[in-house]
Amino acid sequence: MSHELATLFAAGFIYLLLLFLVAYATDRGWVPERWVTHPLTYTLSIGVYATSWTYYGSVGYAAHNGLQFLTIYLGATLAFVLSPFLLRPILKLCREYQLTSLADLLAFRYRSQAAGLLVTLFTLIGTLPYIALQVRAVTESLRVLSNEVPPNTIALVFCASLILFGVLFGTRHISPRQKHRGLVVAIAFESLIKLVVLLIIGGYALFHVFDGPSGLSSWLKVHPEAIEALYRPVNESPWAALMFLSFAAAFLLPRQFHMLFAENLDVRSIRTATWAFPAFLLLLNIAIPVILWAGQSLSLNINPDYYVLGVVLAEGPSWLSLLAYIGGLSAASAMVIVTSISLASMSLNHLLLPASYPDPAMNLYRWILWGRRLLIGLIIMAGYGFYAGLQHNDSLVELGLISFVAVAQFLPGVSGLLYWRRATRTGFIVGLLGGICVWSVLMLAPLLYSSGILITDLGVPQLVAASGMDKWAFATFLTLTVNGGLFVLVSLLTRQSPGEIEAARACCTEATMPLSGVVAAGSPAEFRAGLAETLGQAMADREVDQALTDLGMRPNEKRTTELRRLRERIERNLSGLLGPQLAHIIVNRRLELDPEAKTALADSMRYVEERLEASRSQLQGLSVELDKLRRLHRQILQDLPLGVCATDNQGKIVLWNLALEIMTGIDAEPLIGTQLNKLPRPWDGLLAGFARTSEDHIYRMELPVMGKPRWYNLHKAAYADPMIEGGGPSQPGMVMLIEDLTDLGTLEAELAHNNRLASVGRLAAGVAHEIGNPVTGIASLAQNLRHEDDPEIARQSIEDIIHQTRRISDILGTLKSFSRGSRHLQQRETFALCEVIDEAVHILELTQEHDGIRFEASCPGNIVLTGNRQQLSQVLVNLLSNAADASHGGDRVDLLARIDGGEAVIEVMDQGQGIPEELQETIFEPFYTTKPTGKGTGLGLSLAYRIIEDHNGTLKIDSQPGFGTRVVVSLPIPNAEQHYEPLAHH
């Protein structure tokens, strides 16, 4: 049963139209987003690996080489199994540096335009036979189905349709950050079609030709030679060589590189592809032996390459043969579309742009866009020319293997890119040239000879026969031996340029090298002006704006650290448009680095932090533990309740923690890399001034913040720059701690005030008793005056009443003075010490709980102090109260004051049990008390110590268990020569 060519052409046209609609619907957002970004969609798009070679040629290859056909898929499976060490590092580099092709990747690593040119030319030469293979497969399938020789016009229409698709859906965006989602979904759709159709044909062969598994088993028993033919070549075929070739082709073929890395929509999808893609290949190949045996069972008189069509054409319904044709068309068209798009990008970046860079006055974006579109058409038509000019004697698989050997020549360069930092551009170029020469002799020359283009085969068949190896094993071994040997030898004999060293470190998966150098341009505006000379003003503005947006920078950014990052981002963005080497040349020429300037630690730390954050999943072994330790230490600094500011050896801020952000109200992000004196007021003066002083500690520094005074403790320490090799710099880095004492001071004042109020409460009973006596006397005298006629007695009674009221006033005045609020804590006055002592003793005598304890005070009347009278009264009350609490009924508490060497010395002594020596250092700590619960707060001595310290005095304890305690307070006596700083400054 055959079909008319017109019918087949119409079916193919409808299918390609459907493909257009799938891509268009995706780009318009009609396809659900979860379908577009699903990991299985990504996996199916990688299925472009399976071309007409797989769809048609695998059956033919199995007919001649048995199970050897599996090697082409086992090698690809191995590449995906090694994804963590191979595919993921390459994907990371491509996304980070916006590399869109293998030529971009190798040109970036070896910093060589020549390397990119050589890779592009050789890829074009090695891939054209593969494109010709797809065109041939489509035309041959038409001949098989129609029994007519299709005219070349059909092949031309097929190529023209693919050019149109590639132009419409493969060049919609010029930036690699904007993925061609319609292309990805359309290629995934094609992979699904060819998989489903091949499984349907396999099922048809099993259940219709053989009547099910039992029928197939019976046929194989009758024809044991079929199984023998499948297994016989196993020991004879070059399994290792073919697996190695397919391993390389799985990620180095242009179409594979493009779908794996350039069009990757989600980096996480590659994890799913690691197992899903091998499963896809398994499903594709599971039907191959069944279709082969079905063709042999039907004694098909056609090339085994096309048994997929012959089996359904012999006895199947017409729709099934049309479906089989659509499956083959799907396999071929997907390969040609993606390959042409990838090769167009490579050719533009490494052939067209370096050879004829457009005038900056032109619209460079439009020029690049139409340049890619033109190149897509030229590449597909070149493949058609290759198809038309070659004789069709070789099998589909053998044509494909020629391209596989070609792309395998890039393996040494890729190995050096990922794992050998010492590799040089000269070594790579010389090695690749050697491999190309050998490949041209062993692979290309026989192909051209068989097509009548060359008049000699250069004696290659005799050379292969003499080697005793299969031609594929021989070609693989010899090309890679020459290539790899020259690559290693020349790399060891030559030196790397500084650019190569930098690129080699960037390509290492564990590298976290900081950015080096300082940009000569001082602002984004200068970036625009510099780039405009090469890119044109419109493109320069757009690229600078895009880079600023990517990094979240301000248009007026002037920090050198941020400008260095901006320069790198612009180079990466241009790399996706113009190729890495041309972008590198333009940026180096127009945005020069100052050779005299040194990179600050701020640059280094920021770069290292970003790289570690981005590559956390790539770290392994000890690196993981070190990264965890780094994160822990940084988190501790960030969460520390004290403000932390660290500067590098150039005085630039490298750390500004969360507590300092809250304290100052300044975000850390814009400060990194900023000089201390560039901070907003008043913090510039505080921190920059503290950094310049020789003092390592400053206590209770007053600073007006938003019109209100605040107090801070400042501490600093120097550290050596860990990023500088060979010892620390002459100017070390510095870390500063800032402690806000304002709230603590307010709390202490409130606690002191509350403590005074509590003392007043405890005095209430004594006060009531003291006031009750004179009030009773006043009442009695007043009653007697009603009946008293003697003027002398009346006058004496009035004097007694006045005396009693003065007594009451003295008591109330003492209590009022003692209970004043915290708003008076800052007041200073000059007063007689004996007055404060008498006041304190009087207060303690009013307290009933101290009944039976005698207070003896001795103080010369000539001791005059300057300070806060109320605070010193509080101190004496606390000391006397503690002494009374430690005493027993009938004991005496002595308070002695004297002048000693320009100081007033006050001693408070009790006859209690004393304080153990091990507790004498801790009793001044807040909330520490030896009293029973409810009898003390533990704040008395702590507050007393702070008050005496604020008065430039000292407070000491001298105690022996069993002999009582002596508290000695020393306070300076003011005179004309002495100068007292405000309390708030201490």
Q: For 658-700, what is each residue's pLDDT tens digit?
A: 888 888 888 887 777 778 888 888 888 888 888 888 888 888 8
> Among residues 581, 552, 423, which one has the least CA distance to residue 494?
423
Kindly tell me the sign of the dihedral angle through the C-alpha atoms of 182, 187, 188, 192: positive
Burial of 526 (0-12, 13-18, 19+ CB in 10 A): middle
At residue 851, the pLDDT reads 64
Read off the tokens for 194: 């060819």
Pairing of strands 733-740, 854-858: unpaired
Pairing of strands 593-594, 829-832: unpaired
pLDDT score of 283 more than 90 = yes
pLDDT band, very low/low/confident/very high, at 596 (cuts 50, 70, 90)? low
pLDDT band, very low/low/confident/very high, at 397 (cuts 50, 70, 90)? low
Read off the tokens for 829: 């006055």
Task: Give percent of the chain with pLDDT exceeding 70.
Answer: 82
At residue 762, the pLDDT reads 53
pLDDT score of 90 more than 70 = yes
pLDDT score of 396 more than 70 = no
pLDDT score of 726 more than 50 = no
Burial of 330 (0-12, 13-18, 19+ CB in 10 A): buried
pLDDT band, very low/low/confident/very high, at 850 (cuts 50, 70, 90)? low
What three-state secondary structure class fits 714?
strand
Distances (CA, A) of 578 to 456, 506, 787: 41, 20, 120
Q: Tens of pLDDT along 957-967?
A: 888 777 788 88
Distances (CA, A) of 532 to 141, 364, 365, 522: 54, 12, 14, 16
Residue 712's DSSP bridge partners are 701, 740
For residue 931, the tally of other CB atoms under 10 A from its CB is 13
Most distant pair of Cα atoms in the chain: their distance: 161
Q: Tens of pLDDT along 913-942?
A: 787 776 766 676 655 565 654 455 455 677
At residue 620, the pLDDT reads 58
The end-to-end CA distance of the chain, in Å, is 106
pLDDT score of 763 more than 90 = no
Mean pLDDT over the full length of the chain: 80
The residues near 25 (Cβ < 8 Å, ≥ 6 apart) are 31, 182
Q: Per residue, what are the HEC states of 435-457?
A: HHHHHHHHHHHHHHHHCCCCCCC
